[in-house]
Amino acid sequence: MSDKPLLNRVVNAIIVDDELHARELMVNYIGEYCENVEIVGVCCCAKEAYDVIVEKGPDLVFLDIEMPNGSGFDLLRMFKTIDFKVVFVTAFSEYAIEAFRFSAVDYLLKPLKIGDLSEAVEKVKNTLKVHSSYAQLLDLLESYNSPKKTDKNYVISSANGFIVVRASDIIMLKADSYCTTVFVVDDLPITSSHNLKFFEDVIDPDQFMRVHNSYIINIDHVKKYTVQDEIFLTGNNKSSLSRAHKQDFLDLYKKRF
């Protein structure tokens, strides 16, 4: 991804769609209604798109899902690290949940609406404003160890920029559709565009525990557990405990006591 100045920078985009009419329409709409977006590639299949993405290093990929000879999901699975933003464009709404598992910025349904397209592009621009080049592999969340500290810091993006939070101050993380809400000590919750699985792969497993499909908790902030499978945490926060994670949670506290 480019290291251009973020103010009014041009967003380099690639369009991937097997339908000629859809590709032409997207090109026309972007050219007329999306300021500072430059199309650097137009592709008709996953294999072609992979080569173009590797060559061009785009900021954004508009990606159809259902294509012959490889779906949009198949294309993304070719990359070990997805260091570009993805906006899915498809006629099939049933793919929405899976799309956001790939941390898509947005999901547009065909026939394409100009307003929806413009909003999606603005979302991409807003995420790029807080997306430093050194943090590409971790995207909106970067953790680092300080030699003078035992507490990790996390840099979490928000709608207005980013917030640096100590790991010890994170109470829990809650899935909210395809986003995640991060609850912290003595401050307002932070909303990230990443899903909960992204955070699970990054945060310290010795300090944080998945206790439910929708919750990751900081085990140091646990205050109470009830037989109704509710976990009470610092700041009047509460998490559910699922059957799948219950034994691990109880075993952890048996070891502690």
pLDDT digits (tens, 9 = 90+) for 152-176: 888 787 666 678 888 999 999 999 8
- The pTM of this model reads 0.50
The rounded mean pLDDT for the chain is 83
Fold annotation for 141-256: OB fold (Dihydrolipoamide Acetyltransferase, E2P) (2.40.50)
Can you give the residue ranges of every domain in the chain?
11-129, 141-256
12 falls in which pLDDT band (50, 70, 90)? very high
Tokens 């397209």 belong to which residue? 117
Mean pLDDT of 78-88: 89
Q: What is the pLDDT of residues 197-212, one digit of tens each?
A: 888 888 888 899 999 9
CATH for 11-129 is 3.40.50.2300
